[in-house]
Structure 1
Amino acid sequence: MPDNALTGPRSLAQLIALWCSACLRADVTELVSLYEDGALMVTSAGEVLEGRDRLGEALRDALACLPCAGRRETRRCLEGNGIALLINAWLGEEEQRAPDISTGGLGLMIARRQPDGRWLIAMDVPQGTV
């Protein structure tokens, strides 16, 4: 895996492509590298997780439950002043391994351009619940 600190996503399209690719490969290490150190994630239960370690645990659990974790499309991307809001649609209603996790619906991400030019995820609300 390339060191994302040196070669990370330089555009929002690249960030989205890397995120989806890492999901499809269930590569939690690469996924976590696409988030800021102090990134926040809101779980489907409404719990707010902070930091790469906590996000890594949640992502690992989600990837174990969702056979289509990487199947999503970005419906809308609003960018300005180095901040972007990504509105993502989760695709499909494949068989789930965990009944409390939906494989369809909307998710939200806020990404921020870093001083070195990379785009990283600052906040993630995968199932659109706050």
Structure 2
Amino acid sequence: MTNKIVATEPNDLGKLFIERANAGDVDGLVALYEPDAVLAFPPGSRATGHAEIRKVFEQFVAAAPVLTMGTQHPALVNGDLALTAATLSTGEVTVEVARRQPDGSWLLVLDQPVLGS
């Protein structure tokens, strides 16, 4: 189900995440992360690497959530690293760190989808 669209800008990752989550595309969600990335979801837990992140997203998409894009803040970029954040309609904030890949695309390294409000 995964489409071949990649993040050419750090904030593309948020848009791609919403599209793939709403499509139930676990493979596509996992593909947004570096192989050794860390995902802090659900709150209070930690998944490291594609295998653990896949398990989290299998449970997540099984619940069939319908996600909407929050207010994305401008990415803070320093070289090949970027800090991205969005404020959701619930007031919660997401925070992510992405890294530019050798081909120029961006992948998530650290992801904390629910930081607080």
Q: Distance in 2 between matches of 1:109 and 1:60?
A: 20
Task: Give the alignment partner of residue 37 of structure 2, picking from 36, 39, 43.
Answer: 39
Contact 2:22 2:64 (8 Å CA) reproduced: no
Any stretches of 5+ residues in structure 2 without a counterpart?
none
Name the counterpart of 1:67. Answer: 65
Q: TM-score by structure 2 length?
A: 0.82
Name the counterpart of 2:14. Answer: 16
SS at match of 2:61: helix
> Which letter maps to 1:120?
L
Contact 2:11 2:75 (8 Å CA) reproduced: no
Q: How many residues align?
A: 115
Which moves more between the two structures, 112-121 or 7-16? Answer: 7-16
**CA, structure 1 residues 19+38, in 2 after alignment: closer, same or farther (shift >3 Å)?**
same
**CA, structure 1 residues 85+75, in 2 after alignment: closer, same or farther (shift >3 Å)?**
same
Instruction: Report sequence identity in percent.
Output: 25
SS at match of 1:12: coil
Question: How far does residue 11 in structure 1 lie from its aligned partner after superposition?
Answer: 1.8
Q: Which has the larger radius of gyration?
A: 1
Contact 2:15 2:69 (8 Å CA) reproduced: no
Any stretches of 5+ residues in structure 1 without a counterpart?
93-103
Task: Give the alignment partner of residue 93 of structure 2, picking from 97, 106, 111.
Answer: 106
Q: Distance in 2 between matches of 1:107 and 1:71?
A: 11
Contact 2:11 2:84 (8 Å CA) reproduced: no
Q: TM-score by structure 1 length?
A: 0.75
Task: Give runs of ≥4 in structure 1 deviating > 6 Å.
Answer: none
> Which letter maps to 2:96?
M
Contact 2:72 2:87 (8 Å CA) reproduced: yes
